[in-house]
Amino acid sequence: MGKSDFLSPKAIANRIKSKGLQKLRWYCQMCQKQCRDENGFKCHCMSESHQRQLLLASENPQQFLNYFSEEFRNDFLELLRRRFGTKRVHNNIVYNEYISHREHIHMNATQWETLTDFTKWLGREGLCKVDETPKGWYIQYTDRDPETIRRQQELERKKKQDLDDEEKTAKFIEKQVRRGLEGKELEAPVYTELNRESEEEKVAFNLNKGASTSIAASSKTSSVLGPNALKTVEGAVKRKESSHSSGQSKEKKKKSALDEIMELEEEKKRTARTDYWLQPEIIVKIVTKKLGEKYHKKKAVVKEVIDKYTAVVKMIDSGDKLKLDQTHLETVIPAPGKKVLVLNGGYRGNEGILESINEKTFSATITIDSGPLKGRRVEGILYEDISKLA
């Protein structure tokens, strides 16, 4: 087997080594080349390509330093935003996850010497909330996206409206109860003496133990007490039956209240939202200008969703395939009567027919066309929560 054979043990070992992360001191950021040992790094520094890169960097070193610093900051903040959101997390946890990517920008090529300096800089610039603890520095991402701020304001407004509706309902019920109590007067109990017409007459007490016992007692005592006692027992049986029926009605009322609670829980689930909305086979519009005028404001079809936030799209006009983040895309609202897919909220994943559009509130009205909710009319759904189906 030859030395340069693809399946030789040495070639296989070299490929295995090249997959993992290597030592930082043997990495050249200008050439973006990772060497495996000190001898390899020395040979690379003496190479013509490396000397050419150094001459290029010596003309304007500040430009290269600013470029690497900006790339490092953007990638670090993007990972923090996607992986941890606005949660408070240790800066070393985020950094370890960032450097696990083999092609990351190394910190020794930026304007910051240590991770602590970079963390302090993030706090001074207002990009993150930072605080120092005995366990180290903690950071919390500050989301200043206008769209996110607008969503938070809408959610707060909706919560306040729900609380106002609950307070109005509680006041109305309290007013109805007070009005019902005003027209009634509490009846005071009337006490009478226990008198017997004759000493030979027997006195029977009905303790309401049950209809069967009272009926049996009535059959035994009817001959002794006469028709008056029989009427008393029959009245007790009727009272028992009426109390039983009232108990059943109370149980029905309790069941209906439970159903109402379940409906409220379902309604809360419908209003639940997520920070990702990409779905396959929907039409989107590219809003980023980084790709040039060729793709700016052009429509594409989502072919694949990667890690919830990234999509592989196919351009409708040219057929080119691109891999883009959801922040570089926006939904497409079709004409009324066309099919749409719900991307966020409780009706997420359901197809529907667009009925009308409200330009003042930036919302639409759709009719669900799939699933168990088929035929349900949904009003006030936001533009960003629906998109045209391909």
How is domain 277-332 classified at the architecture level of CATH? Roll (2.30)
Q: Give the mean model confidence (pLDDT) for residues 8-26.
A: 72
- Residue whose tokens read 């206008």: 146
pLDDT of residue 197 exceeding 50 = yes
* Per-residue pLDDT tens digits for 83-140: 888 889 999 999 988 888 777 888 878 888 899 999 999 998 888 899 999 889 999 9
pLDDT-derived band of residue 175, with 50, 70 and 90 as boundaries?
A: confident
Structure tokens at 45: 């520094």
CA distance 156 to 161: 9
Q: Which residue ranges make up each domain of the chain? A: 21-141, 277-332, 333-389
CA distance 97 to 83: 10
Task: Write down the pLDDT at residue 364.
Answer: 92
Pure H helices in the chain = 9-19, 38-45, 48-59, 61-84, 91-99, 115-125, 146-182, 211-225, 227-270
Type of residue found at 98:
Y
Does 21-141 carry CATH code 1.10.3720.10?
Answer: no
Quick one: CA torsion of 302, 356, 271, 154, rounded to 10 degrees?
Answer: 100
CA angle 68, 48, 72 (to 5 degrees): 10
The helix/strand/coil state of 358 is strand
CB 295 within 8 A of CB 284: no
Task: Write down the pLDDT at residue 230.
Answer: 46
The helix/strand/coil state of 188 is coil
CB 281 within 8 A of CB 302: yes
CB 311 within 8 A of CB 302: yes
Structure tokens at 8: 């030789």
The helix/strand/coil state of 2 is coil
Torsion 237-238-241-247 (CA) sign: negative
277-332 shares its CATH topology with 333-389? yes
* Per-residue pLDDT tens digits for 273-320: 788 889 999 999 999 888 888 888 899 999 999 888 899 999 998 888
The helix/strand/coil state of 175 is helix
CB 341 within 8 A of CB 325: no
CA distance 205 to 191: 16
Does 333-389 carry CATH code 2.30.30.30?
Answer: yes
Helices and strands of the chain, counted as H and E runs: 9, 15
